[in-house]
């Protein structure tokens, strides 16, 4: 058992270009806790007649100032937790802070650079690396990704995410078993056998989260996300299994409602968020207080899910993310205050070990067989559980003869078999009860005699029998336990099956199994390394189904929009980097191939040497052949050296593979974001246009510039817009009004009542709407770029 307080770290986000720094100082003491001092100048405008500064001091395990890089944060914060999880303890790392303070950046990572990857991808990499190194145990790993939004849970790995709207997805609900353990219904556990599979799942979840987000509804700041890695391990042959889980939590923004100053739907959300963070605070206050028996975990979903992480069986770490510019000083102080309270909480982590009932049954069955064998040895007879018909008849006969025999010395000898003895007793008892009550003393006498004859053997038999009975009971209990487990797992299994439809697509991703090429000796090894660049081609599994085709106008506008979009630079940069990495990988693959050939060649030379020496031994047997061959020795040293360089290059190639995959995922995500941003912007433009339509008609001469747009078949398909939207669980009318589906202007243009007759461009109202929307969109973009001629 490990008892310790929650470790609390702080991370200060770098200042933006236009931000003014607040006054703060960091004192990182290597030996004890570090301290952060924030200074707030007294505001003279408030009527204070002094300009004394106020200072706030907070203690942290360590403080990561603006320039701290992701690898340092990982090494200091996440690595120790990951190590505990690998050892069989539960772990949690959660980020707390206002929106924009760097929670997602710290937990998941930045979307642009490989070096910006956050705690989750780095932890996955570290864990799978360690698992691979440890050959002494059998490990299984699963991941789950839960989003909690307005007190409802959603499975971010649910493959239905892409096709259906969030509100139509099954909600993840909390169930408590009689032992007060929390189970999450409808949350899928997806197996990830390696880093790559786990990363794919992470990106899939992140993309699902992004898709569901709309500008009305920047859910990422209002929802909590919990990425969980489940590890179970077992030593081969042992019945003990260790289970542990690591929660990596990106909490909702901690800012207060009063400050956001918004109304309607967003306020409802903000209240919810505050409510759920408020409940978190309540739990933390209750935990920090001594002698508090009731901890209000059940008040919110998030505190229920994280119950073990707060004051329970878990090693927990918190990262307070701070945005230390002047405007956010108040929020930073409140984040630090929260952190100080959290730092008081004590957790007790225990090793999560349990006996595997299946293995226990196998073990007990083996023991029973041994006992049975022992019985055979004692009795000299193989025994089945039931007496055969033949044996029963023979017994009946024996009993009859015995009863009819008038000789007082006659005995009923059935051998040292408890089944037969029992049968005789029952038989006699029945006879005695019904017909021959007067024969009772005789029977007793007889059996006593027999007992004395068989005393020794029976005693032993009895003992063995008892043992058998005991084992049978144990097996029954274990079988029941298994049944219960199975029943419980069935629901989860059902979800897993549903989810596997999605994961098969993931399975199609990278097929290069570099592990196989570990040993230079394996013949197929480097063929794969050689084909590296061509096979690392990821199917666009993340790309969303857009449903219908974009119309030409829409496509053209998208092209222009793309060039203007901020992310396009990052996409281009990554594309360039990816090209470089591919080239590097290809080059390395070729080099590896050469080294392998060289090793094989050297091996061939050694074989040649052996043959030569063998021939020499035959032709001149007097030569001493036991002495070492210096040439061979030299060849062996050379092989060793080549192997070393092979290994170095191989590891580099492996690293490259991970980097390439990560970059591909980043690009895929950025592309989807671009598409989504465009869709939103396009629908906004179309809506504006709808209102200004008469004006646009007057400039209809420009339409001739794009004659191809006149084709009536090319419509801006309504399906090309995301219909994914979040609706608050309360389904309040305000919420509905804010949802993008209802405000989607395209759907409005499609209604027959629209004033399409007043815009006689092509005669096709839908095509006209497209054309006009495009013209307006293009003009807007050009104006934004400073190219427009108004
Ligand atoms: P939050 O999740 O707390 O709302 P984000 O992680 O999304 O905040 O951060 C907001 C912005 O600041 C993002 O663009 C992110 O890339 C950037 N950012 C945050 N922390 C850092 C950091 N330590 N270094 C560089 N950029 C950062
Ligand atoms: Mg965030």
Residue 91's closest CA among 115, 129, 61, 123? Answer: 123
Q: What average pLDDT does this structure show over 676-705?
A: 63
Which spans in 45-185 are helix H?
Answer: 70-73, 79-86, 103-107, 119-133
User: What string of DSSP letters covers 572-589?
Assistant: HHHHHHHHHHHHHHHHHH
**pLDDT for 52:** 59
Most confident of 314-328, 343-357, 496-510: 314-328
Token digits of residue 361: 């049954």
**pLDDT for 746:** 35
More confident site: 539 or 423: 423
Token digits of residue 740: 């993008």
**pLDDT for 50:** 58
Distance (Å, rounded) from C-alpha 192 to C-alpha 120? Answer: 14
Q: Which ligand is closest to the CA of 72, given by its number?
A: 1
Token digits of residue 319: 């990262």
More confident site: 706 or 137: 137
Q: Is 154 exposed, middle or buried (0-12, 13-18, 19+ CB in 10 A)?
A: buried
**pTM for the full predicted model:** 0.65
* Residue identifier of the C-alpha nearest atom 19 of ligand 1: 102
* 60 Cα to the center of ligand 1, angstroms: 21
Q: Which of 85-89, 514-518, 572-576, 633-637 has the lowest mean pLDDT?
A: 514-518
Q: What confidence tier does 89 reach under pLDDT thresholds 50, 70, 90?
A: very high
**Torsion sign, CA atoms 733, 735, 738, 739:** negative
**pLDDT for 248:** 97
**pLDDT for 784:** 62
Distance (Å, rounded) from C-alpha 428 to C-alpha 437? Answer: 10
Q: Is the pLDDT of residue 260 over 90?
A: no
Q: What confidence tier does 725 reach under pLDDT thresholds 50, 70, 90?
A: very low
Q: What average pLDDT does this structure show over 756-760?
A: 36
* 67 Cα to the center of ligand 2, angstroms: 20
Q: Which atom of ligand 1 is nearest to the CA of 250?
A: 2
Q: Is the pLDDT of residue 296 over 50?
A: yes
* 314 Cα to the center of ligand 1, angstroms: 27
More confident site: 540 or 34: 34
Q: Is the pLDDT of residue 299 over 70?
A: yes
Question: For a substitution probing ligand 1, which of 9, 13, 253, 669 has the most ligand atoms within 8 Å of its CB?
Answer: 13
Q: Is the pLDDT of residue 217 over 70?
A: no
- Ligand 1 shell residues, CB under 6 Å: 13-14, 97, 99-105, 110, 221, 253, 321
Q: What average pLDDT does this structure show over 319-332?
A: 92
**pLDDT for 434:** 77
Asked if residue 223 lies in contact with residue 210, where contact means CB atoms within 8 angstroms, the answer is no
What are the distances in angstroms from CA 527 to CA 58, 597, 602?
58, 12, 19
More confident site: 317 or 376: 317
**pLDDT for 281:** 87
Distance (Å, rounded) from C-alpha 1 to C-alpha 293? Answer: 21
**pLDDT for 101:** 95
**264: Cα within 13 Å, side-chain hemisphere:** 10
Residues with CB under 5 A from ligand 2 (ion): 103-104, 220
Asked if residue 325 lies in contact with residue 19, where contact means CB atoms within 8 angstroms, the answer is yes
Q: Which ligand is closest to the CA of 224, given by its number?
A: 2
Q: Is the pLDDT of residue 755 over 50?
A: no
Q: What average pLDDT does this structure show over 60-83?
A: 96
Residue 267, φ and ψ in degrees, nearest 5: -65, -40
Distance (Å, rounded) from C-alpha 17 to C-alpha 594? Answer: 50
* Residue identifier of the C-alpha nearest atom 22 of ligand 1: 13
Token digits of residue 20: 């003014």
Q: Is 345 exposed, middle or buried (0-12, 13-18, 19+ CB in 10 A)?
A: buried
List all residues 6 or more positions away from 42 whose beta carbon is below 8 Å from its beta carbon.
48, 50, 51, 52, 53, 54
User: What string of DSSP letters covers 358-383?
Assistant: HHHHHHHHHHHHHHHHHHHHHHSS--
Q: Is the pLDDT of residue 232 over 60?
A: yes
Mean pLDDT of the chain: 76
Q: What confidence tier does 91 reach under pLDDT thresholds 50, 70, 90?
A: very high
Secondary-structure breakdown of the chain: helix, strand, coil percentages, each rounded to the nearest 5: 55, 15, 30
Q: Is the pLDDT of residue 500 over 50?
A: no
Q: Which of 104-108, 451-455, 543-547, 690-694 has the lowest mean pLDDT?
A: 543-547
Q: Is the pLDDT of residue 144 over 80?
A: yes
* Residue identifier of the C-alpha nearest atom 20 of ligand 1: 102
* 252 Cα to the center of ligand 2, angstroms: 7
Q: Which atom of ligand 1 is nearest to the CA of 107?
A: 6
Question: What are the residues facing 217 on neighbouring strands?
Answer: 214
* 350 Cα to the center of ligand 2, angstroms: 31
**pLDDT for 105:** 96
* Residue identifier of the C-alpha nearest atom 25 of ligand 1: 14
* Residue identifier of the C-alpha nearest atom 17 of ligand 1: 102
For residue range 265-294, list pLDDT tens digits in order. 555 555 555 688 889 988 988 888 877 888
Q: Which atom of ligand 1 is nearest to the CA of 68?
A: 23
**pLDDT for 54:** 85
Q: Which of 167-176, 708-717, 731-740 has the lowest mean pLDDT?
A: 708-717
* 91 Cα to the center of ligand 2, angstroms: 21
Distance (Å, rounded) from C-alpha 144 to C-alpha 156? Answer: 8
Distance (Å, rounded) from C-alpha 746 to C-alpha 726? Answer: 19
């Amino acid at each position: 058992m490990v008892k310790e307080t929650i470790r609390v770290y702080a991370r200060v986000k770098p200042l933006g270009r236009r931000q003014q720094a607040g006054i703060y100082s960091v004192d990182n003491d290597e030996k004890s806790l570090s301290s952060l001092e924030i200074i707030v100048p007294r505001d003279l405008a408030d009527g204070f007649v002094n300009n004394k500064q106020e200072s706030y001091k907070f203690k942290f395990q360590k403080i990561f100032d603006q320039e701290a890089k992701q690898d340092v944060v990982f090494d200091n914060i996440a690595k120790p937790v990951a190590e505990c999880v690998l050892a069989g303890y539960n772990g949690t790392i959660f980020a707390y802070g206002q929106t924009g303070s760097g929670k997602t950046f710290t937990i998941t990572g930045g979307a642009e650079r490989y070096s910006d990857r956050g705690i989750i991808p780095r932890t996955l990499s570290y864990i799978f690396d360690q698992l691979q190194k440890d050959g002494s145990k059998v490990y299984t790993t699963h991941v789950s990704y839960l989003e909690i939004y307005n007190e409802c849970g959603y499975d971010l790995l649910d493959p239905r995410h892409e096709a259906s709207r969030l509100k139509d997805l099954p909600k993840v609900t909390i169930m408590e078993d009689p032992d007060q353990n929390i189970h999450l219904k409808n949350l899928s556990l997806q197996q990830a056998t390696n880093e790559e599979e786990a990363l794919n799942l992470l990106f899939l979840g992140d993309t699902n989260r992004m898709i569901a987000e709309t500008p009305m509804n920047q859910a990422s700041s209002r929802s909590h996300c919990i990425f969980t890695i489940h590890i179970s391990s077992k030593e081969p042959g042992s019945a003990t299994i260790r289970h542990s889980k690591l929660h990596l939590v990106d909490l909702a923004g901690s800012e207060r409602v009063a400050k956001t100053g918004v109304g309607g739907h967003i306020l409802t959300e903000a209240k919810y968020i505050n409510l759920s963070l408020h409940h978190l605070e309540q739990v933390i206050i209750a935990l920090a207080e001594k002698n508090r028996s009731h901890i209000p975990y059940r008040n919110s979903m998030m505190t229920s899910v994280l119950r073990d992480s707060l004051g329970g069986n878990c090693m927990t770490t918190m990262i307070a993310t701070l945005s230390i510019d002047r405007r956010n000083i108040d929020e930073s102080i409140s984040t630090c205050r929260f952190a100080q309270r959290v730092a008081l909480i004590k957790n007790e982590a225990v090793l999560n070990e349990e006996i595997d009932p299946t293995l226990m049954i196998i073990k007990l069955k083996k023991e029973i067989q041994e006992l049975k064998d022992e019985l055979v040895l004692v009795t000299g007879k193989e025994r089945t559980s039931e007496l055969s018909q033949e044996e029963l008849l023979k017994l009946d006969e024996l009993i009859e003869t015995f009863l009819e025999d008038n000789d007082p010395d006659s005995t009923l000898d059935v051998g040292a078999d408890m089944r037969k003895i029992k049968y005789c007793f029952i038989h006699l008892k029945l006879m005695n009860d019904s017909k021959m009550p007067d024969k009772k003393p005789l029977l007793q006498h007889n059996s006593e005699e027999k007992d004395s004859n068989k005393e020794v053997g029976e005693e032993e038999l009895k003992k063995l029998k008892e043992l058998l009975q005991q084992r049978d009971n144990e097996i029954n209990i274990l079988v029941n336990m298994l049944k219960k487990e199975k029943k419980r797992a069935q629901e989860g299994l059902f979800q897993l099956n549903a989810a596997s439809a999605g994961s098969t697509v993931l399975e199609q991703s990278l097929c290069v199994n570099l592990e196989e090429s570990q040993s230079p000796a394996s013949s197929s090894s480097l063929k794969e390394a050689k084909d590296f660049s061509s096979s690392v081609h990821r199917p666009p599994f993340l790309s969303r189904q857009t449903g219908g085709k974009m119309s030409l106008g829409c496509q053209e506008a998208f092209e222009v929009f793309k060039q203007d979009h901020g992310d396009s630079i990052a996409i281009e940069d990554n594309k360039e980097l990816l090209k470089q990495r591919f080239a590097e990988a290809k080059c390395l693959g070729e080099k590896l191939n050469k080294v392998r050939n060289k090793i094989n060649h050297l091996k061939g030379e050694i074989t040649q040497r052996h043959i030569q020496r063998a021939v020499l031994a035959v032709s001149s047997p007097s030569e001493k052949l036991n002495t070492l061959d210096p040439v061979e020795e030299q060849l062996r040293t050379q092989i060793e050296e080549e192997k070393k360089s092979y290994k170095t290059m191989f590891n580099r190639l492996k690293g490259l593979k991970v980097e390439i995959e990560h970059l591909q995922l980043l690009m895929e995500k950025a592309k989807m974001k671009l598409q989504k941003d465009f869709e939103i912007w396009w629908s906004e433009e179309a809506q504006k246009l709808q209102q200004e339509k008469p004006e646009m008609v007057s400039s209809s001469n420009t339409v001739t510039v794009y004659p191809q747009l006149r084709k009536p078949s090319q419509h801006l398909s309504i399906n090309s817009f995301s219909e994914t939207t979040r609706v608050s669980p309360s389904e309040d009318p305000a919420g509905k009004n804010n949802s993008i589906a209802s405000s989607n202007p395209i759907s409005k243009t499609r209604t027959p009542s629209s004033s399409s007759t007043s815009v006689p461009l092509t005669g096709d109202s839908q095509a006209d709407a497209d054309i006009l929307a495009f013209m307006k969109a293009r003009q807007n973009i050009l104006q934004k770029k400073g190219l427009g001629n108004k």
